[in-house]
Structures are given as structure tokens and as C-alpha cells.
Amino acid sequence: MERGEPAPDFELPDQDGRPVSLTGLLREGPVALFFYPAAMTAGCTAQSCRFRDLAAEFAELGASRVGVSTDSVAKQREFAERNAFDYPLLSDPDAKVTAAYGVARGVAFAPTRRQTFVIGADRRIIEVVKSEIRMNVHADRALAALRRQAADPAG
């Protein structure tokens, strides 16, 4: 998945079992969709907490934050409750969405690549952030891309 491509639509359950679709999220504005390997691991917690801690900055830009992993709904709920996440964590246990976004790794202990897709309201990908080891870069670069988009909507 590259900048400018259309983001695949999906519907997955959130940490409370409620269905969430990309189409529904985009009605509210752009989306920072981040994938992580496993809930409640150190790196994934750091990555997810950074998105939580920048809530005001994302809200200022009218953007939603959404995390996705192959963890179960129950594990996502525990992860969200432990860390007071104020955004949806989606469960993709069969890795269909993970595969559609090209981030499936196929390794049991880390089935998903750590990547973030910033998606405009038109469903086009604005930015792709790839880093397995720099956890904060995902939220930081997503915000930078959203700010650039807000400053120059045509470009």
C-alpha cells in the first residue's frame, strides 16, 4: 500500500465487540489506522499510548485514531482498559484486513508488521509510516501528514 492508493474498506469488531468500518470512520474525517503485532507487549503499548497521549492534536485536525491487531476482542478490551485508550482497538483474528493492507507477517509470535496508514476522507492513503523499533514515530508522522494535508488540501 502506497500514498495515493485507495485504502481497502473493512468491518471489524472493536474491543467491545461492536462493528467498526472504515467507511463509517471516514464520515467523521481522516483516520490514522495503525497496525501492531500484539496487545500488551512493550512496543505495542508504547506505540498505542503515544496515539492516546496525542488525542487533542488528532482531534484538532478532525482525525480518528484506530488500532488493529490479530488479537481477540477480549484481549483488545483488556489492553484498552489497562491503558485507558480513548479510541477503538479492532480485532482481526483471521488476518483478512491485515493481509489486505499488506502488513501480515505470517510469524506466530508477531503476526503483523508495525505500520500506520493515514487515510483521507476520500479513502486515499495520505501517508504510510513503517518502523518496527521507533514506536513514537507512528503517531508523530501521522500527525505531520495530517497537518500537511490540512494546510494544503489539494496537494
Average pLDDT for runs of 10 along the chain of length 155: 92 98 96 94 92 97 96 97 97 94 76 90 95 86 94 72
Cell of 62: 478532525
* 68 DSSP β-pair partners: 35, 90
- What's residue 155's pLDDT? 57
pLDDT number for residue 52: 97
Report the pLDDT value the prediction gives residue 1, as an integer from 0 to 100.
Answer: 82
Question: For position 43, what pLDDT does the model report?
Answer: 87
Of 93, 136, 137, 10, the C-alpha closest to 127 is 137
* Residue from 129, 127, 140 nearest 49 by CA: 140
49 assigned to active site = no
Residue with cell 471489524: 12
Residue 71, SS3 per DSSP: coil
Catalytic residue among 44, 73, 90, 135: 44
- Enter the DSSP assignment of 141: H
Of 59, 74, 64, 67, residue with least CA distance to 43? 67
Q: How high is the pLDDT of residue 150?
A: 87
Which residues lie across from 53 on neighbouring strands?
Answer: none
> What is the reported pLDDT for 99?
92
Which triple of cell numbers denotes residue 79? 489492553
Block residue for cell numbers 499488506: 102
Provide the pairing of β-strand 64-69 with 89-91.
parallel
What pLDDT score does 132 carry? Answer: 77
What lies within 8 Å, CB to CB, of 132 at 6+ separation is 43, 113, 114
pTM for this prediction: 0.94
pLDDT score at 112? 81
Which of helix, strand or coil describes residue 101? coil
Given this structure, which CATH class describes domain 5-151? alpha beta
The domains of the chain are located at: 5-151
Q: Return the amino acid letter for 140.
A: D
